[in-house]
Amino acid sequence: MAAVVGVVLVGIVLLVAHAADAPNRNPASTSPEKVLVFKTTPQGELKLHFYFPRDWSPRDKRPALVFWHGGVFQSGSPRQFYAKAEYFASRGLVCASAEYRLKNTHGTLIDKCAEDARSAMRWIKGHATEIGIDPEKVIASGGSAGGTLALLVAREKGPDAKDDDVRISPRPCATILFNPAIGELETFIVGRVAEEPALVYAQVAALNTPEKNEPPAIFFFGTEDRQFLEVSREFCRKAEAQGSRGELWTAEKMGHGFFNRPPWHEATVRKADEFLGSLGYLKGPPEIKASLAAVLKRELPSGGR
């Protein structure tokens, strides 16, 4: 009975979180420049929605940034990250907002979401010479369930599609995580029908702990997002303890999905820009202005870098 109650409660929390993702998203001023199919599944084609820098050429070797939208693994759209993709393309990155199979649209579960995210990373790296990127400099990002997927692609092992070229590692060089849904999420999966439920359960449960050589990560949370925030705090503490980089920034009295709306869209994008600059993937100061009222507090690490 306790397990059933746990599943119901987590399901409610995730549905409320999804509702917080929806309103007042910052729209991009332009549509994606290219929409390319990266995978054909029994449920249909999946696409990557690309934004390119103004001076982009297929001969380039630029860093790339891939986003996954939220929606409880059930719904949602790549449009959620169009504005962020457009901005970072203006800063010189090749950016893509990725589709993945969803329960409400495709009748699939989290195992297929994870497979599709890892397939997208492999496609991008495998087509580096066509889209003008450096396959060793692909950054993963996402919000809520999409943040979970960004962490899943960073796992050395995970649910992989049978026709993926597993010689290509899906691991990113860094992650930008907007309130990722980790922690009690594994409870949400127990009892759900999946092709490989044990593997999926183990993979999601493992998100509580960074792997060795965890890619540098930056997390953004509202302080009211208590269910997922504390797990991410612990993740960052463990990452720092083992010598990996784990930054955590919080917005006072904000809930789940706060990053979608102004002034927090601008504030989180600016901090993400500074993070990527510190890693050498961007040059010069951020070009997006953040409101003085939108204060992000750096919780972890405690010292500067």
Average pLDDT of the chain, as a whole number? 86
Predicted TM-score of the model (pTM): 0.89
Count of CB atoms within 10 A of residue 255's CB?
A: 16
Which percentage of the chain shows pLDDT scores above 70?
83
Judge contact between 150 and 69, C-beta under 8 A: no
16 pLDDT band, cuts 50/70/90, is very low
pLDDT of residue 15: 41
Count of CB atoms within 10 A of residue 212's CB?
A: 8
Judge contact between 48 and 38, C-beta under 8 A: yes
Segment 156-192, tens digit of pLDDT: 888 899 999 999 999 999 999 999 988 765 555 544 4
Least confident of 25-34, 60-69, 97-106, 253-262: 25-34
C-alpha distances in Å from residue 212, one per residue of 115, 156, 256, 305:
22, 10, 28, 20
Segment 42-95, tens digit of pLDDT: 999 999 999 999 999 999 999 999 999 999 888 999 999 999 999 999 999 999
C-alpha distances in Å from residue 299, one per residue of 173, 219, 252:
23, 10, 12
In this model, does residue 24 exceed pLDDT 60?
no
CATH number given to 2-300: 3.40.50.1820
